Amino acid sequence: MASEAVKGKQLQDIEMAVIGNAFCLLIAAAGLLAGTMAANLSLEYWREDIVPLAITVFMGIRLLRNLMDAMTLYQELPPRKVRHPHREDAQRRENVQPESVVTAQIPAVSTASGLSPEQVVEEVVKRIESQKADVAKKNKFTN
């Protein structure tokens, strides 16, 4: 257990070192871009940009070394258990169909009104036409 904690701490330390080196490399590269070599588009001015050039090379090497350390530590770790919350919920769910649910469902088409399907369609058409007429009356009053 202690060795796992040490490995976890090492991983965190290496990850932070990788992030820090990446930012330092980014800043050094920005210094190179602002330097004389980039301004004059020539490698002849390397002596004037020796400091950002050295920092860029040094940080690039450190970044690669830390990335390799991190990769070797990640290879040594056992694979993590992937937790699938949807699968766990599906296993815990029960297929609930009590008898009280059946009574709450929408009943089948009732024949209490005594209308045939053609009569129902005619009633719907009448309602739509009456709604269109009401809208036309309202539009006449507003225009």
| 100 part of a folded domain | no
Find out whether 32 and 56 touch, Cβ atoms under 8 Å.
yes
| 52 part of a folded domain | yes
pLDDT digits (tens, 9 = 90+) for 105-139: 555 555 556 778 888 889 999 999 999 999 888 88
| 51 part of a folded domain | yes
Find out whether 46 and 53 touch, Cβ atoms under 8 Å.
yes
| 112 part of a folded domain | no
| 12 part of a folded domain | yes
pLDDT digits (tens, 9 = 90+) for 75-86: 887 777 777 666
| 50 part of a folded domain | yes
The residue segments making up the domain with residue 52 are 2-76
**SS3 state of residue 60:** helix
**Position 99 pLDDT exceeds 70:** no
pTM score, whole prediction = 0.48
What is the arithmetic mean of pLDDT over 60-86?
83
| 123 part of a folded domain | no
| 18 part of a folded domain | yes
State how many domains the chain has: 1
pLDDT at 5: 54
Calpha distance 71→64 (Å, rounded) = 11
Calpha distance 48→34 (Å, rounded) = 12
Please measure the distance between the N-terminal and C-terminal CA atoms of the chain and give it in whole angstroms.
82
**Position 12 pLDDT exceeds 90:** no
